[in-house]
Structure 1
Amino acid sequence: MYELHTPVHIKAVAKYMGYYLLAFSFVLVVPMIVAIIFHNFQATGYYGVTAIAAFVLGSFIYRTLPDYELETKEALIIVALVFPISAFLSAIPMSLSTGMPFFDAYFESVSAVTTTGLSVAPADVGPVFFFARSWGQWVGGIGIILIVLSVLIRPGTTAFRMYKANYGDMKIKPTVISTTRTLGKVYVVITLVSIVLLLLSGMSLFDSICHAFCCVSTGGFSTQTASIGAYNGNLIPTAISISCILGAISFVLYPYLLKKPQKFIRDKELKYFLSVLVFGSIVFALTLSRENFEYAAIKDNLFQIISAITTAGFSTFDLSILSEASKAVLIFIMWIGGCMGSTAGGIKVFRLLLLFKVVHNVLVRLFLPRETITPIKIEEHIIESEEIYNLVTFMLLYTLILVASAFIFMLYGVDTITSVFEASSALSTVGLSAGATSAAMPAMLKAVLIVDMLFGRIEIIPLILLFMPGTWIKRKRKTKRIVRT
């Protein structure tokens, strides 16, 4: 990270933001087509004009600026810019076509592209809005960066740094371009599987497509005001649960299902993910058994835990009626989240596993000579010291942001457990609400949740770098003048 001692190359950032605008203009075309299908020609015009404007601006930037080789710092800044700008562009036609206040439309768009699922939208906004919101979650789940890498950027150092800034070091192919294309294929396949499962469970085609987009992206938006609680029986909740789990498992593992299925089954992070799911369900069932309402073991208990740990955010009943103990269980599950390399948010199971390894290593070293080398290893991967520093930094920043956000909610009169619940849901990009999130909430609290959702999706560091003065401005070094006597 020594490159950050010098400011970013603004023209290099602008050049690749031009690539991004070109890609995102085609993303906006899809809801425009859906608006035509539903004969909503007003929405068609708004989405069409916004798509054209993004395409023209992206083309101008792309053609005007020369090619640049990106450094790591530029790649991180681009990742930090992509999501808030995507939400801004999506919010324009959304606000104009529904009559929503622009700030509420921006909240909805941020919730979509960050795959969160918190909503402040009115109930009667129409099918085009529901599709656009679900489509935004599906695109946000796989990431605009993947589309840019797969289609527009040539293989090389720039592609590698863009990939690493967004997806880390995980690769399943020799090059990052081939890796991103493979991940894209996996994403499309599990989406199709989800659509089929939902159709077979009795859901309509439109609802199946919208819910499948939100399941595999672990987003949680629903076409129904009561979310999954609007559907009778256990078939649809079961199909939703399976689809969410598919989205929360590392996409890197899926290619091994056909070639090396034992590697998929024996993956340590996957085992811990499923173990937390089972343990959380048992504890949540114990807390629910003390409540004064009837619940279904599958539809309410297991489904809600799956929704929380996959950070999907679907619900089958009003969570505001839960006791503090039940809410606390969901909060802890939301913090953990899914697997690395998936669409799930949260701290991630791998980081939790690594944290336990670090604690174990510290305790073991108390009984060993100081010069003894005790490497930390997860499966075949030896953890470097830099990864531990990154873990400690992430955990500290995550905690500070969570505490600050919850405290602001408390200043507005929201009780402690609900404040922590809403902040945790946004920061882990879950989308569950204990009743505080609504269109009537103060603008300040909406702004807090918007920032939390962006932090949760971008994973804190890039967004912080975006607002550091040293990222943009070169600071003059102070030199001491030596006076000779």
Structure 2
Amino acid sequence: MYELVSPVSPAAVLKYIGYFLIAFSLVLIVPSMAAILLQDNYAAIIYGLTSVLTFAAGFAIYRLIPEYDLEVKDAVIISALVFPISAFISAFPMAVTNNMSYIDAFFESVSAVTTTGLSVAPADSSMVFLFARSWAQWIGGIGIIIIVVAVLIHPGTAAFRIYKTQYSQIKLFPNVLKTTRLLGTLYILLTLVAIILLLISGMSLFDSVCHALSSVSTGGFSTRSASIGAFDNPLILFSISLASFLGAVSFGLYIKSGRKPSRMLKSSELQWLVLICIIGFAVLLFTTIRSEGFDSNSEDILFLAISAVSTSGFSTVDVSIYSDASKWVISVLMWIGGSTGSTAGGIKILRLLVLAKLIKIVFMRVFLPVEVITPLKLDNDRIKKEEINNIVVFSVLYISILVFSAYVFMFYGVNSADSIFEVSSALGTVGLSAGVTGPDMPDVLKMVLCADMLLGRIEIIPLLILVMPRTWIKRRTDRVHTPDQQKECSGSCQQRRRCPSNLPQ
């Protein structure tokens, strides 16, 4: 089997990276236009120049490289490359316009495009910088891949395979372009609703736009260093909580419920999302009450529970003052995350439901005859064996990366509770911090968190495939036998094991 593994086509991957660069150049125009409105001409020039250079690079690749048939493996690599490249490009204007080192700007850019919200930026950041990173979170939430598919790529196999790498669980129409444009329209409508709610709540227009972009994308970047706590307004808390929760619900469920509203109430994933928020609030409230000298506020704790589960990462209080027991509760909520097909991160509720049912079947099999078939179903949909395998592998990798990253933090002297918390926040693309993340944090730890944020947003497997040598280099083996050679191959042939028996005649 392994002898038949073929590497990706670098030319095909590069061709579609060219498409992406053209699309991303359009994304960079928006901060440039915002800078003009905010009367920051220097930032407008820097972002505009970055956009022009990005477009030129993408157009040159598009013109020089011929069209290629895109294989599934190529599409997976493209989806893994999009976010690191986006962060690499966005870091340049961020560094120049906000007087940051490139490493800090890259960290901020990774945090933005992965919709995380962890920050090492100075407290006196410019308004253009604050808007640019909220805008990057909004783009990262819907998925830059969606923009490429919806705007630049013609309908066909390539568009379908690229779309499938990001939204395989949302199957609304046979036409991928129609599906992507419908998802984009829904995303824009949710954002407009969030802006209106925040304006009604008393926020300024600038703050409303930035927070709406960050909340619907479950990103968590705020225009204030104290996050939502700086506003001290219950209506704003409610609006942010609602927008974040709506962003954590599967977009496919919204559209399907538009045809049949009862589907919304019957969704196991949505029911568990609500239940986990309630349970998380109750347990977190209990741990804070048990903490001596801690003045617990039920509104703040409910907001924090929703923020952790939806992976939006907003806060109203300094999380570092919470007890280790409370930090562990928040960490578990960040591991769980929101729904599949949403902007939320984490392991995702659907995967955990499948794992729970798998455990139940393992115990049930003890009491059942061997010949009895026990299919795994969720909401009357049968989960295929391949999907179960992927979920188990993903979950094992998720925990392994979390443990390894936390150990690196502990090696640098961070206590275990804070290490687990910070890594959980990055890997779950949440953005809550126990006070560890900051400009003075060692560069090694910044890069660990960058890797965790990318792994969490891309969902681990594509990024690991990207760095595997076999992805790019063909393994040298003895020549595989042709059908005619198989007939001549004797039983004593030492290469018999390499002769595939199902080659076409």
- Is TM (by shorter chain) over 0.5? yes
Task: Output the CA distance in 2 between the equivalents of 1:169 and 1:261.
Answer: 20
Superposed CA deviations along residues 372-415 of structure 1, whole A, max 9, x for unmatched, are 10100011310111011101110111011000000000000000
Task: Output the CA distance in 2 between the equivalents of 1:4 and 1:478.
Answer: 11
Give, in angstroms, the shift of residue 3 of structure 1.
11
Give the equivalent residue in structure 1 for 2:411. Answer: 411
Give, in angstroms, the shift of residue 175 of structure 1.
1.7
Give, in angstroms, the shift of residue 256 of structure 1.
3.3
- Give percent identity, aligned residues only: 56
Describe the shift of the 1:75–1:39 C-alpha distance in structure 2 as closer, same or farther (beyond 3 A): same
Task: Output the CA distance in 2 between the equivalents of 1:390 and 1:104.
Answer: 34
Give the equivalent residue in structure 2 for 1:288. Answer: 288
2:129 aligned with 1:129:
yes
Q: Is the 8 A contact 2:46 2:93 kept in 1?
A: yes
Secondary structure of the corresponding residue to residue 252 of structure 1:
helix
Describe the shift of the 1:369–1:200 C-alpha distance in structure 2 as closer, same or farther (beyond 3 A): same
Give the equivalent residue in structure 2 for 1:184. Answer: 184
Deviates more, 1:421-430 or 1:151-160: 151-160
1:83-98 equivalent positions in 2, closer than 5 A: 83-98=83-98
Secondary structure of the corresponding residue to residue 76 of structure 1:
helix
Task: Output the CA distance in 1 between the equivalents of 2:169 and 2:125.
Answer: 41
Q: What letter is aligned with 1:119?
A: S
Task: Output the CA distance in 2 between the equivalents of 1:187 and 1:380.
Answer: 28
Q: What letter is aligned with 1:294?
A: D
Secondary structure of the corresponding residue to residue 410 of structure 2:
helix
Give, in angstroms, the shift of residue 255 of structure 1.
1.8
Give, in angstroms, the shift of residue 258 of structure 1.
3.2
Q: Is the 8 A contact 2:3 2:477 kept in 1?
A: no
Superposed CA deviations along residues 135-186 of structure 1, whole A, max 9, x for unmatched, are 0000000011001111111111111111111112321122221111111011
2:334 aligned with 1:334:
yes
Q: What letter is aligned with 1:278?
A: I
Secondary structure of the corresponding residue to residue 294 of structure 2:
coil
Q: What letter is aligned with 1:213?
A: L
Q: What letter is aligned with 1:295?
A: S
Give, in angstroms, the shift of residue 45 of structure 1.
1.2
Give the equivalent residue in structure 1 for 2:497. Answer: none
Secondary structure of the corresponding residue to residue 290 of structure 2:
coil
TM-score by length of structure 1 reads: 0.97
* Structure 2, gaps ≥5 residues long: 481-491, 495-505
Q: What letter is aligned with 2:403?
A: V
Superposed CA deviations along residues 55-94 of structure 1, whole A, max 9, x for unmatched, are 0111111111111111111001001100010001110011
Give the equivalent residue in structure 2 for 1:441. Answer: 441
Give the equivalent residue in structure 2 for 1:158. Answer: 158
Q: Is the 8 A contact 1:402 1:420 kept in 2?
A: yes
Q: What letter is aligned with 1:209?
A: V
Give, in angstroms, the shift of residue 482 of structure 1.
6.8
Give the equivalent residue in structure 2 for 1:461. Answer: 461
Give, in angstroms, the shift of residue 5 of structure 1.
1.3
Superposed CA deviations along residues 421-456 of structure 1, whole A, max 9, x for unmatched, are 000000000000001000000000000000000000
Task: Output the CA distance in 1 between the equivalents of 2:3 and 2:267.
Answer: 35
Give, in angstroms, the shift of residue 479 of structure 1.
6.4
Secondary structure of the corresponding residue to residue 119 of structure 2:
coil
Give, in angstroms, the shift of residue 2 of structure 1.
8.3
Give the equivalent residue in structure 2 for 1:311. Answer: 311
Number of equivalent positions: 482
Deviates more, 1:354-363 or 1:259-268: 259-268
Q: Is the 8 A contact 1:336 1:347 kept in 2?
A: yes
1:129-148 equivalent positions in 2, closer than 5 A: 129-148=129-148
Runs of 4+ in structure 1 displaced over 2 angstroms?
1-4, 256-259, 478-483
Task: Output the CA distance in 2 between the equivalents of 1:4 and 1:149.
Answer: 30
Task: Output the CA distance in 2 between the equivalents of 1:394 and 1:258.
Answer: 32
Task: Output the CA distance in 1 between the equivalents of 2:440 and 2:457.
Answer: 25
Describe the shift of the 1:228–1:98 C-alpha distance in structure 2 as closer, same or farther (beyond 3 A): same
Q: Is the 8 A contact 1:4 1:471 kept in 2?
A: no
Task: Output the CA distance in 2 between the equivalents of 1:178 and 1:258.
Answer: 16
1:47-66 equivalent positions in 2, closer than 5 A: 47-66=47-66
* Structure 1, gaps ≥5 residues long: none
Give, in angstroms, the shift of residue 4 of structure 1.
8.5
Task: Output the CA distance in 2 between the equivalents of 1:44 and 1:230.
Answer: 28
Q: What letter is aligned with 1:460?
A: I
Task: Output the CA distance in 1 between the equivalents of 2:158 and 2:3.
Answer: 15
Give the equivalent residue in structure 2 for 1:224. Answer: 224
Secondary structure of the corresponding residue to residue 253 of structure 1:
helix
Give the equivalent residue in structure 2 for 1:396. Answer: 396
Greater Rg by CA: 2
